[in-house]
Chain A
Amino acid sequence: MWQFFHKLGSPKWFFGISTRFMPWLLAGGVLLLMAGVVWGLAFAPKDYLQGNSYRIIFIHVPTAFMAQSVYIMMASAALVTLVWRMKLADVFVKAVAPVGLVLTFLALFTGAVWGKPTWGTWWIWDARLTSMLILLFLYGGVIALDRAINDEKSAARAVAVLVLVGVVNIPIIKYSVDWWNTLHQPATFKLTEKPSMPAEMWVPLLLSVLGLYLIFGWLACVRMQTEILSREQRTRWVKEFVLKGRV
């Protein structure tokens, strides 16, 4: 197991293996996301209370879920950076932070668009919305801190500490609707119970979440490969790759 773990730390090995996975990630992701979103927006039944405006759930929930999921992945990578000093973990954090930022922004934006017709307001400073805004700032802070430090190694460690400190916010986002009074409703999906919506609504939602996951995987690979090439540009394998077009 440890051997695989250390192999994973080799940028060259990752570059080769990810190239093989990427077309599948992209194809599967686009397919699932299209299926989920089209099904959800056009064919799923409307809600008895909110009518058609609830359909933004098929974009809001996948982006909000991924925004938090990406942060948890980043935090795991940050732990690896701090403890094992693995270069690839830092490459991951650097590559996915902007993706997380965009996802968080989309979650907040679609939430505001949904909030106006249902709640009657674009924004309210309740615990869920505020903690999600903090997540947006955390992503921004991670990107800024990384850019602010020139030395690659010190940047990696400083960023990893910030990411790990920020991970405290994730359970706060998740449980904000249970711990405090909020305008945002509690979770529809719980691990231990049946979802409080019928299958013809949650299946397309699940498809779009899975699709977005795969597309995120593809995007992470693309951005990590770019980062690896620019970091390792002086090594022999990168020079050979540029000349031959393959690893």
Chain B
Amino acid sequence: MHPIRKKRLTIVLFLLAGLSVAVALTTYALRQNINLFYDPSQISAGEAPVDVRIRAGGMVEEGSVVRDPESLKVEFLVTDYSASVPVEYVGILPDLFAEGQGIVAMGRLNNEGRFVADQVLAKHDENYMPPEVASALEKASEAGAKSATESTKSATY
């Protein structure tokens, strides 16, 4: 390669590397602002500010959804499987809202550690499958769970 071109290439690569480091440091420093929501663990650890509009995200805990028969009020627990936060919301939930499904809620954390949401968005994961496969998987996992409990019973600890 021609020496001039080599020099130009070195300069360009050097600048790119420097720029990457600068951007990496900036985004790392701002990571809490870039994160869309607080995890239930962060909220229960007291990292989330109280009575400030924030977002909380996680999975809707199985069997935790309680609907008020008189109104649109819903209460449920949002979990990341290490901590969970109670959420209350009045309004229409997105179609994908279900137990075991991911959500992101916008609202305020009150003094009692309850999250009062004014907007609930559904988050879906990266897995796609036909309905038949999903139901077959569910059956298989139920059967697996059954045999697992049976084997636990028979096992002596």
- Give the B-binding residues of A (Cβ under 8 A): 45-50, 54, 57, 79, 82-84, 117-121, 124-127, 164-165, 167-168, 172, 179-183, 185-188, 196-198, 200-201
CB-based contact B127/A196 at 8 Å: yes
* Complex Cα gap A168–B124 (Å): 28
* Complex Cα gap A126–B34 (Å): 7
Q: Name the contact of A50 in the complex, choosing from B119, B123, B124 (C-beta under 8 A).
A: B124
Cβ-based interface call for B31 (8 A): yes
Cβ-based interface call for B23 (8 A): yes
Q: Name the contact of A187 in the complex, choosing from B5, B126, B133 (C-beta under 8 A).
A: B126
The stretch of B12-20, B62-70, B109-117, B147-155 in contact with A is: B12-20
B7–chain A nearest beta-carbon distance, Å: 9
Interface SS, A side? loop
CB-based contact A183/B123 at 8 Å: yes
Given the known A-B contacts A79-B12, A168-B19, A172-B27, are A46 and B130 also in contact in the complex, defined by CB atoms under 8 Å?
yes
CB-based contact A54/B39 at 8 Å: no
Query: 6 nearest interchain CB pairs?
Result: A48-B134, A45-B130, A120-B94, A197-B128, A126-B36, A181-B35
* Complex Cα gap A30–B19 (Å): 39
Listed residue (B37, B124, B125) with the most chain A CB atoms within 10 angstroms of its CB: B124
- Give the A-binding residues of B (Cβ under 8 A): 5, 8-9, 12, 15-16, 19-20, 23, 27, 31, 34-37, 39, 57, 94-96, 101, 104, 119-135
* Complex Cα gap A83–B125 (Å): 43
- A118 contacts which chain B residues (CB < 8 A)? 94-96, 122, 124
CB-based contact B12/A83 at 8 Å: yes
CB-based contact A183/B19 at 8 Å: no
- B129 contacts which chain A residues (CB < 8 A)? 47-48, 197-198
CB-based contact A127/B96 at 8 Å: no
CB-based contact A121/B121 at 8 Å: yes
CB-based contact A119/B122 at 8 Å: yes
* Complex Cα gap A49–B157 (Å): 40
A11–chain B nearest beta-carbon distance, Å: 20
| CB < 8 Å A-B pair total | 110
Given the known A-B contacts A180-B35, A181-B36, A183-B104, are A188 and B96 also in contact in the complex, defined by CB atoms under 8 Å?
no
Closest to B42 in A: A181
* Complex Cα gap A196–B123 (Å): 16
Q: Name the contact of B133 in the complex, choosing from A82, A126, A188, A198 (C-beta under 8 A).
A: A198
CB-based contact B23/A172 at 8 Å: yes
Closest to A82 in B: B12
Given contacts A48-B129, A183-B104, 14 further A-B contacts (CB under 8 A): A47-B129, A48-B130, A50-B124, A79-B12, A83-B8, A118-B96, A121-B121, A168-B19, A179-B31, A180-B34, A183-B123, A197-B127, A197-B129, A198-B130
- A179 contacts which chain B residues (CB < 8 A)? 27, 31
* Complex Cα gap A56–B121 (Å): 19
Listed residue (B39, B57, B121) with the most chain A CB atoms within 10 angstroms of its CB: B121
- A84 contacts which chain B residues (CB < 8 A)? 5
Closest to A115 in B: B121
Closest to A189 in B: B126
- B16 contacts which chain A residues (CB < 8 A)? 164, 167-168
A/B interface sample: 21 pairs, CB < 8 A: A45-B130, A45-B131, A47-B130, A48-B133, A49-B124, A50-B96, A50-B128, A57-B128, A83-B9, A119-B94, A120-B94, A120-B119, A120-B121, A121-B119, A124-B36, A168-B19, A181-B36, A183-B104, A183-B123, A185-B123, A185-B124
